[in-house]
Amino acid sequence: MLSYFALLASWWPLKPGSSRRRRRKQTRRCCTADDCREMYCNKFGTSLMFGLKGLEATSARGAFQRAAARSGFSWAAVCKQRTLRQQRSACAGMHQTGVRSAVHTTVDPGEVKRFQLLANKWWDEEGDFAALHAMNDLRVPFVRDNLLNAQRERHPGQPLAGLRILDVGCGGGLLSEPLGRLGATVLGIDPVEDGVRIAQLHAAHDPDLRDQVSYRACTLEELAGGGEAQQLQQPEQGVTQFDAVVASEVVEHLADLDTFAICCSRVLKPGGSLFITTLNKTNLSYALAIVVAEQLLHIVPRGTHDWEKFVSPVELERLLESNGFLVQSVQGMLYNPISGAWSWTSNTEINYALHAVKQDDEAEDGSTPLGGPR
């Protein structure tokens, strides 16, 4: 009975969002109510079951409408999202055709708008982005150690000297600055202009960073594609070649991952490294990263993540390898909300970090597989 109401809810408009409506139209055609109900009953976790049991039987439509209209946390909204997800994964199989349409651009305008509103909060270490600041403790050593392994020379005090790094989705420059301090020449790009401006202002005070770190408000496609020589630094080469590309907490906000992988491949030198940190697409990541982190504990601003856009390491690895990368290591990361600190873990179910190397144009790669960080 209750599952029937949940099914009804799936047909009900949620918040204004064209992507969601488009997805619902696609799925309505392909699954039967029986399939979805059965699968729904099987997969439901206990915590959400509690919420579902609390719903009144009467006036289900009204209840869901009110739930939709409220922007605060509600179990009903959570249940609805889960139902949609279950239906889609049952009907569409393992392929995520509905989530990211093949628009050949990595930028999602909804995401851009959301981050514009948060632009001024980037550098408050105890504010909305506290978890990202804390993540530097993991991702900077991750990038640094893997790059050092590939390098021959050692420069005391500036371990990454001489390397060119591209930080995709740099935001306020949280990751670009530490990499710049380690001696690398960093270019940070982000489609959100306000964030780039904040990043430039922050780096402008520090004389060490002024020469190392630069920012540009553009997308990865604009940087990678086009024959416009004017935007690129080195006239003797066609496209600027970076030693490493870092895309930390970015791929879960992108519209099209294929384009992203192709562009990364284009801007990287052969043998260059690609570092990605993102969230896995599992039940656990839904429960922890969306329900707990966003809605309960407010570790992350509400609405930051869309579970549909999460990508599993297997999926990401397949995507990268079909675009000329060889994945060297995948390592799980775990956030402790009490201490506010991140740690490495072997479990990749929630957050994970991935290191891939661009294959040389010849078939074989010479690099030995690197172990996970520390």
Partner 1 sequence: MHKLTKAPLALNGLGRCLITEKHLPPVNIIRRGLVCSENRTDCSKTEVYDVIISGGGMVGSAMACSLGMDPNLAGKKILLLEAGHKKVMDRVPDTYSTRVSSISPGSATLLSGIGAWEQVTRMRCKPYKRMQVWDACSDALITFDKEDLLDEMAYIVENDIVVAAITRQLDAMPENVQVKYKTKVVKYTWPMPHHAAESIPWVKVTLANGQTLQTKLLIGADGPNSMVRQKLGIPTVKWNYDQSAVVAVLHLSEPTENNVAWQRFLPTGPIAMLPLSDTESSLVWSTSHYLAEELLELDEESFVDAINSAFWSNENQSDLVETAGALFRGALSAIMPSAGSPRQLPPSVAGIGPKSRVMFPLGVGHASEYIRHRVALIGDAAHRVHPLAGQGVNLGFGDVACLTHLLSQAAFNGKDLGAIQHLLEYETERQRHNLPMMTAIDLMKRLYSTNAAPAVLLRTFGLQATNMLPTLKVSFHIF
Q: Interface residues with partner 1 (CB under 8 A)?
A: 123-125, 136-137, 140-141, 144, 156-159, 177-182, 197-198, 200-202, 205-207
Residue 201 amino acid letter: L
Q: How far is the CB of 273 from partner 1 (least distance, A)?
A: 17
Q: How far is the CB of 116 from partner 1 (least distance, A)?
A: 16
Q: How far is the CB of 339 from partner 1 (least distance, A)?
A: 12
Query: Measured from the CB atom, is 212 or 331 closer to partner 1?
Result: 212
Q: How many C-beta neighbours within 10 Å does residue 109 have? A: 11
Q: Could you give the C-alpha distances from 159 to 152, 173, 268, 357, 369, in angstroms and in order?
A: 11, 20, 20, 20, 21
Query: Measured from the CB atom, is 324 or 373 closer to partner 1?
Result: 373
Q: How far is the CB of 173 from partner 1 (least distance, A)?
A: 11
Q: How far is the CB of 201 from partner 1 (least distance, A)?
A: 4
Q: How far is the CB of 136 from partner 1 (least distance, A)?
A: 7
Query: Measured from the CB atom, is 158 or 240 closer to partner 1?
Result: 158
Query: Measured from the CB atom, is 16 or 156 closer to partner 1?
Result: 156
Query: Measured from the CB atom, is 68 or 130 closer to partner 1?
Result: 130
Q: Residue 250 burial by CB count (10 A; 0-12/13-18/19+): exposed, middle or buried?
A: buried
Q: How far is the CB of 184 from partner 1 (least distance, A)?
A: 9
Given strand 325-336, what is the order of strands in its sheet? 213-216, 185-189, 164-168, 242-248, 268-279, 351-358, 325-336, 341-345
The Cα–Cα gap between 49 and 63 comes to 17
Give 327's contacts (C-beta < 8 A, 6+ positions apart).
317, 320, 321, 354, 355, 356
Query: Measured from the CB atom, is 156 or 227 closer to partner 1?
Result: 156
Tokens 């993991």 belong to which residue?
Answer: 138
State how beta strands 164-168 and 185-189 pair. parallel
Q: ∠ CA 360-364-369 to the nearest 5 degrees?
A: 90
Query: Measured from the CB atom, is 144 or 305 closer to partner 1?
Result: 144
C-beta of residue 313 within 8 angstroms of C-beta of residue 307: no
